[in-house]
Amino acid sequence: MELMRKWVQVITGFLINAYWAFPFTRTIYQGPLKVICAPGLNCYSCPASTSYCAIGALQQLMAGVRPALENGQYFLGFYVLGSIGVLGAFFGRLICGWACPFGFVQELIHKIPSPKFGLPRPLKYVKYFMLVFFVFLLPLLVVDQFGGGHPWFCKYVCPAGTAEAGIPMLLMQPSLRTTIGWLFYNKLIIMTVFLVWAVFVSRPFCRTTCPLGAFYSLFAKARLVKLRLDEARCTKCGACHRVCPMGVKFSEEPDDVECISCMACMNEACKENAIYLEVGGVAFGRPPQPRVPAKGEAP
Ligand code: SF4
Ligand code: SF4
């Protein structure tokens, strides 16, 4: 299953970044596929990107609300909200585990041999601040002299944007190098911090800062595809806690919003077959069975 997940990560990353003509054209892809929402965090301005970024689109949506209202245009971005809403309702943070290129990069970096550390749980709440303030409130409320807002998360924070768009564009278009200012260096430092952090801590950006992960986590309980715990079989051995890349204690909190459905607990850790996949309320693959008590153990 882990091999399959890796392949899905690779194939998804390739499909949403399939414009490999960019080294020759030296431009970003602007074709018809760009109306498709990338499920994970994948910068719109990545030269190879064939899709748009949900977080970037949400910020643009909020940034355009005030100018639109002032011009008497009353609209809501149902397309963007609907796209990530449907993805969230079906898969929730499974997308983080299976289809996010920046999550995949962090996983690869975390394989570098080094001491590994956990993460203080309160840090996970930072990403909700990022979602509410940087993606919704700041683009909506802070406007420039022309009355328009800005994509604050993209502009000041997003390390995926720096890695996928900022650096490649500077390599492709040397003339842009003269425009580099503190904004770019600030983002370069943020990106470097997260990439180095990922050597020691599993998926630090996903766990602390990603607004898309925060959005998908709102669907943790209601999503159609999720892992379930068969309480009758669980011995509370804690093996599932030890393999979890997101610091989830699955046997204690199966609906934890941090779970990215990587399925390591189900496939690698649980010897009791107490964790199973549920799709739309139907147990998938293995209907849960009551655990057979060991010899001498009370039923
Ligand atoms: S590994 Fe399985 S049996 Fe052990 S605590 Fe987790 S769910 Fe329960
Ligand atoms: S709880 Fe299980 S499926 Fe969820 S992230 Fe942790 S190991 Fe992966």
Q: Domain check: are 180 and 234 in the same one?
A: no
Note the pTM of the prediction, 2 decimals: 0.87
Q: Is 53 in the pocket of ligand 2 (CB under 6 A)?
A: no
Determine the Cα–Cα distance for residues 139 and 30; give it in Å rounded to an integer: 24
**Are both 183 and 233 inside the same structural domain?**
no
Distance 168 CA to ligand 1 centre (A): 44
Residues 6+ apart with CB under 8 A from 243: 264, 265, 268, 269
pLDDT-derived band at 66, boundaries 50, 70, 90: confident
CA-nearest residue, atom 8 of ligand 1: 234
| Same domain membership, residue 208 and residue 236 | no
Q: Do 204 and 243 have their domain in common?
A: no
Domain total in the chain = 2
Residue with tokens 């309160």: 122
Ligand 2 pocket member 260 (CB < 6 A): yes
Q: Rounded to a whole number, what is the largest CA-CA distance in the chain? A: 77
Summarised one tens digit per residue, pLDDT across range 202-242 is 999 999 999 999 999 999 988 999 999 999 999 999 999 99
Q: Indicate which residue's Cα is closest to atom 1 of ligand 1.
A: 270
Q: Are residues 234 and 193 in the same domain?
A: no
Q: Is residue 291 part of a domain?
A: no
Rounded Cα distance between 266 and 284, Å, is 13
Q: What is the pLDDT of residue 285?
A: 65
Residue 32: give the domain boundaries.
2-217
Looking at the predicted structure, is the pLDDT value of residue 290 above 70? no
In the predicted model, is pLDDT for residue 288 greater than 70? no
- Which residues line ligand 1 at a C-beta cut-off of 6 Å? 229, 234-240, 250-251, 269-270, 272, 274-275
- Same domain as 201, residue 248: no
Q: Residue 76 has what pLDDT?
A: 65
pLDDT band with cut points at 50, 70 and 90 for residue 168: confident
CA-proximal residue: ligand 2, atom 2 (nearest): 265
Q: What is the DSSP letter of 201?
A: B
In this predicted structure, the answer to whether residue 77 has a pLDDT above a threshold of 80 is no
Does 241 lie in the same domain as 189? no
Q: Residue 159 — pLDDT band, cuts 50, 70, 90?
A: very high
Q: What is the mean pLDDT of residues 83-110?
A: 94
Task: Say what the pLDDT of residue 298 is.
Answer: 59
Q: Which of 119, 248, 267, 277 to mutate to test the pocket of ligand 2 (most atoms within 8 A of CB)?
A: 248
Residue 25 or residue 196, greater confidence: 196
Q: Which strand (E) or helix (H) includes residue 101? A: helix 101-110
Q: Would you say residue 196 lies in a domain?
A: yes
- The answer for residues whose C-beta is within 8 angstroms of residue 131's C-beta and 6 or more apart is 211, 214, 215
Residue 292 covered by a domain: no
Determine contact, residues 219/95, Cβ cutoff 8 Å: no
Q: Cα–Cα distance between 109 and 103 in angstroms, integer?
A: 10
* Average confidence score pLDDT of the chain: 88
Ligand 2 lined by 262 (C-beta under 6 Å): yes
Q: Whose CA is nearest to atom 6 of ligand 1?
A: 240
The percent of residues above 70 in pLDDT, for the chain, comes to 94
Which tokens in the block code for residue 112? 């570098």
